Amino acid sequence: MKLLEGKVAVVTGAARGIGKAIALKFASEGASVAFTDLNIDDNAKATEQEIAAFGVKAKGYASNAANFEDTAKVVAEIVKDFGRIDILVNNAGITRDGLMLRMSEQQWDMVINVNLKSAFNFIHAVAPVMVKQRGGSIINMSSVVGVSGNAGQCNYSASKAGMIGLAKSIAKELGPRGVRANAIAPGFIITEMTNALPDEVKEGWYKQIPLRRGGTPEDVAGVATFLASDLSAYVSGQVIHCCGAMNC
CA distance 118 to 143: 16
CA distance 143 to 184: 7
What is residue 230's DSSP assignment?
G
Cα 99 to Cα 51, 111, 143, 163, 183: the distances in Å are 39, 14, 19, 21, 26
**129 alpha-carbon distance from chain centroid:** 19
To which H or E segment does residue 41 belong?
Answer: none
CA distance 181 to 55: 28
C-beta separation of 86 from 92 below 8 A: no
CA distance 15 to 38: 9
C-beta separation of 223 from 203 below 8 A: no
Is 234 among the catalytic positions? no
Question: Which of 61, 156, 206, 234 is an active site residue?
Answer: 156
Task: Provide long-range contacts, Cβ within 8 A and 24+ apart, for 74-78.
Answer: 74/36, 74/125, 75/10, 75/122, 75/125, 75/126, 75/129, 76/125, 78/10, 78/34
Residues with a catalytic annotation lie at: 156
